[in-house]
Amino acid sequence: MKFEELKKTFINVPLIRVSHLFLNQNRKTLLNEISYWQKKGLIIKLKKGLYIFNEENRKMEVSREFIANQLYFPSYISCQYALYFYGFIPEKVEDITSVTTKKTKTFTNPFGTFRYYHIKSSLFFGFKKLTDENNLPFLIAEPEKAIFDFIYLNLKILKDKKEDVFEYSYRFQNLENLDIKKLKNIAKMVKNKTLHRVIEKFISFAKQKS
């Protein structure tokens, strides 16, 4: 396959999935061509089997949020990045953090670092679909679920901390529109007294800041 043929095939889609090319190509030959295109800088590797055209050859721009969903499936953006996205914490979060029913994993590529944290299948809910500035979709936790996921995945750290940890260590803010009832209902999905205790500490903190 020539590079121009690759461009013609994928110019109208945001990412290049190598698995879609194996249908009509010799696998070994194609992999050698992909390696050559990557070395020449014509395509950029996001992970094994997933690429994007360089800026010069790219017709469609993509956001890091969109890439996050595509790198590891199923997943949705949550925890620290979602907290920053909603303005719950003031510091910019560079790494895109997501949750997945698969094993915990991290990918690093020219677009940044993408971290995925494992949660049980029964807790894989509470997310919504948004579109980025390029009108490409991505999944992100709803505000209350982002907070729950953060506490659930950091329970070992938070379980013995006082309520003020949410202010002085994490600097939570802008909680006045948080749906406390919704957060409590999510917590009820897990039979864990320690988790419930930490959630109640967070709720008490949120009410003071509202």
What band does 58 get if pLDDT is binned at 50, 70 and 90? very high
> What is residue 27's predicted lDDT score, i.e. its pLDDT?
79
Answer yes or no: is 59 within a domain. no
Residue 51, phi then psi, degrees to nearest 5:
-135, 170
Reported as a pLDDT band with limits 50, 70 and 90, residue 24 is low
Are residues 102 and 158 both part of a single domain?
A: yes
Number of domains in the chain: 2
Same domain flag for 7 and 98: no
Whether 41 and 110 share a structural domain: no
Asked if the structure places residue 86 within a domain, the reply is: yes
Let me know whether 115 and 174 are in one domain.
yes
pLDDT digits (tens, 9 = 90+) for 170-184: 999 999 999 999 999
Whether 22 has a pLDDT exceeding 80, the answer reads no
- Percent residues over pLDDT 70 in the chain: 98
Domain membership of residue 30 as a residue range: 3-53
Regarding whether 24 and 98 lie in a shared domain, the answer is no
Same domain? For 102 and 34 the reply is: no
Q: CA 113, CA 194: separation in Å to the nearest integer?
A: 31
58 in any annotated domain: no
Tell me the C-alpha distance between 79 and 152, whole Å: 10
Tokens linked to 159 = 């379980």
Q: Any idea which residue has 């803010």 for tokens?
A: 173
Verify that 31 and 75 share a domain, yes or no.
Answer: no
- Distance, in Å, from the CA atom of 130 to the CA atom of 138, rounded to the nearest integer, reads 6
Q: Using CA atoms, how far apart are residues 175 and 7, in angstroms rounded to an integer?
A: 47
47 and 68 both lie in a single domain:
no
Average confidence score pLDDT of the chain: 94
Give the pLDDT confidence of 137-164 residue by residue, as tens digits. 999 999 999 999 999 999 999 999 999 9
Going by the DSSP 8-state scheme, the letter that residue 173 receives in this structure is -
Give tens-digit pLDDT for 96-147. Answer: 999 999 999 999 999 999 999 999 999 999 999 999 999 999 999 999 999 9
Structure tokens at 47: 């992970």
